[in-house]
Amino acid sequence: MEKNSSNEYTLSFAAANGYALAIVFPIVALLVVPYGWLYGFKTLGYDLAGFLVSPLLFFISIIVGTVVHEFIHAICWSWLDDIPWAKIHFGFKWKMLTPYVHCPEPVEVNNYRWGVIMPGIVLGIVPYLVALVLQNGWLLGFGLFFTLAAGGDILILWLLRGVTAGNKVQDHPDLVGCRVVDSEV
């Protein structure tokens, strides 16, 4: 997983999904082990099953959460870099069963990073932490699911690890990631 050229930091949707699958087990272990230590691993199993008790609630929460995930990206980029809302586009890659949001306007790289990671924090880590404190199985499942759903976003952060603050990046229209369009010296 390396940058594609001197200024592109991208992966195909298929590659991003593959790498995201590779980090599933470490993320699951990182999140479920503390819950199991606190409440017992048998309780962990029962509590996680609570997220799946109602198939309708599960389905609705996944659909709504996925839409909210993409909107959080867009809201962050719009707000942090003053991008007009009309310039941000939403879509769905049917072949990969992947929703996406695309911001064609250049964004300062740290603002881009915040926009990339915020859905994972808001929909994944925060519900997980609340679940950990309250022993809430439904929030545990929701937080775990949306932390895993941020796997591609985590990969984008990894790709951008060497890009310094002040650089402007532009979201790639067809791949996961971005390209540096303006470098500060």
3 domain-assigned: no
2 domain-assigned: no
Which distant-in-sequence residues (6+ apart) come within 8 Å of 168 by Cβ?
106, 107, 108, 109, 180, 181, 182, 183
- Determine the pLDDT at residue 6: 62
In 3D space, the residue among 183, 166, 182 whose CA is nearest the CA of residue 110 turns out to be 166
- What's 26's DSSP letter? H
126 domain-assigned: yes
Task: Provide the 3-class DSSP secondary structure of residue 178.
Answer: strand
* 77, pLDDT greater than 80: yes
Tens digits of per-residue pLDDT, 128-141? 999 999 999 999 99
* 185, pLDDT greater than 50: no
Q: How many domains does the chain have?
A: 1
Tell me the residue type at 113: R
Tens digits of per-residue pLDDT, 30-68? 999 999 999 999 999 999 998 888 899 999 999 999 999
Alpha-carbon span 82 to 183, nearest angstrom: 19
Range of the domain at 155: 8-182
